[in-house]
Amino acid sequence: MAIAAVPAYLGKNLNFSSASPGLRFGMYLPLWGVESRTGELLWTTHDVNYRSTGHQGQERRFDDKNKTAALTSALKLNGGDQAAMAALALRQAALAAPMVDAGCLLALQAEAVAPFTTGLGNEHPLENGFAFLNPYGLPYLAGSGIKGVLRQAARELAGPAWGDDSGWTAAVITALFGKAGKDGETELQRGALMFWDVIPQIEGDTLRVEVMTPHQTHYYQNNDSPHESGQPNPINFLTVPPGSRFAFHVQCDLPFLTRLAPELACEDHWQSLLAAAFMHAFQWLGFGAKTAVGYGAMRVDEAARQQRVRQAEAQRAQAAAQERQQRLAQMNPEQREAEAALTWLATFRAQLEHERRLNKYKAGSSFDQARAEILRLALALQNDALRREAAQALRESYKFTDWPGKKERKQEVKQWLTQLDGQA
């Protein structure tokens, strides 16, 4: 039997399934054993009875056989965890959207291609901790860790080994990431970039357990000579599974950057530099812990990127349509007619160019229908210059597709074009 290290007055066989993963992995982890003969808890609390029983100095201890069952109970993400995870992602996206529009924030969606883990150095009875964001108790990647990885990526790209031409230099690194004074130095400089924490959107409904098996205890702890016949010591640790999504947000203090390095603020040059650093970090460095053995490797989430592109295009189209409606509302009838005519003439010329590139014209096609509509609209125009321009576009189209086959139809179209030219 294993229990959580909670006060005895709460009772036994408590159900902590509704608690967050951080709490279930921490204080509610059912790791501690009970003496089967006496019922004595194999851990003690700092209460009055603790000191009176003469147990001072007794270590808290647990049975190794409880590890697997305890970790299994901490892995599952309940409905509340998943809802909180999604809500935090939406909150970040809502905060980032106006900054992206203003050009002062870079948002990048990534997908883990290997297990991700972080916070292994945090204190924990299982020797390996994990980084959970309080008060939500969800896994997270700290912005400070992201900054460190990208700074290293920038340093590598600025060096001669990679032969990169993205533009990273020591001066650019200092401007964006800042400069920390070394021992005996007082020169400090704040960087223009600020890195947000990342809340992974976990693939599936559970975390995972990985195992490392160090077998050099005799060398590291007992000062014996190193050899390969040491006894393996399996150590469990938590990971975020591959396929989980990471939304990176990097905010830039543009006024500060403009004063410090105006060439980086011009035309969003800082964003292109940072994107190159992210690509390098995804492929070669990784994020979190144990990156030297492949953990934390990522790639750009292509589906999310395409969705953002479609959303941006839709927003631009909507904004352009609203601007056009406002412009048309301020025009007189003649100006509105001219604006509309120029729009559909430009569209028709683009269709004609497309047909020329394909060179697969067939009579009765959609292009013929579009041309007939252009002719109808042109005949209704009042502006002579626009009528002549429409006639010229139509004649160009007939040079490509030849005139209508029937003699009567051909003659009729030529008469209409002559009328558009003002010669009728």
Over residues 320-353, the pLDDT tens digits come to: 778 878 877 888 888 888 888 888 889 888 888 8
Is the link from the previous residue into 135 a cis peptide, with omega within 30 of 0? yes
What lies within 8 Å, CB to CB, of 369 at 6+ separation is none
CB 5 within 8 A of CB 32: yes
Q: Which H or E run contains 33?
A: strand 32-33
CA 68/CA 118 separation, integer angstroms: 20
Q: Dump pLDDT digits (tens) for 170-184.
A: 999 999 999 886 655
Q: pLDDT band for position 401 (50/70/90)?
A: confident
Q: Note the pLDDT of residue 402.
A: 73
Among candidate residues 400, 419, 414, the one with its CA nearest the CA of residue 355: 400
Q: What's the confidence (pLDDT) of residue 423?
A: 60
Handedness of CA 256, 262, 264, 269 (dihedral sign): positive
| pLDDT tens for each residue of 267-309 | 899 999 999 999 999 999 999 999 999 999 999 988 877 776 6
Residue 396 reports pLDDT greater than 80: yes
Query: Which has the higher per-residue pLDDT, 148 or 374?
Result: 148
Half-sphere exposure of 203 (CA within 13 A, CB side): 16
Question: pLDDT grade, residue 64 (50/70/90)?
Answer: low
User: 3-state class of 363 per DSSP?
Assistant: coil
Taking residue 240's Cβ as centre, other Cβ atoms within 10 Å add up to: 26
Full-model pTM: 0.69
Q: Average the pLDDT over 204-226 and give the result.
A: 84
DSSP 167-207: ---HHHHHHHHEE---TT----EE-SEEE--B--B-STTB-
- Give the position of tokens 């042109």: 378
Looking at residue 117, its pLDDT comes to 96
**pLDDT tens-digit series, residues 300-315:** 988 877 776 677 777 7
Q: Is the pLDDT of residue 60 over 90?
A: no
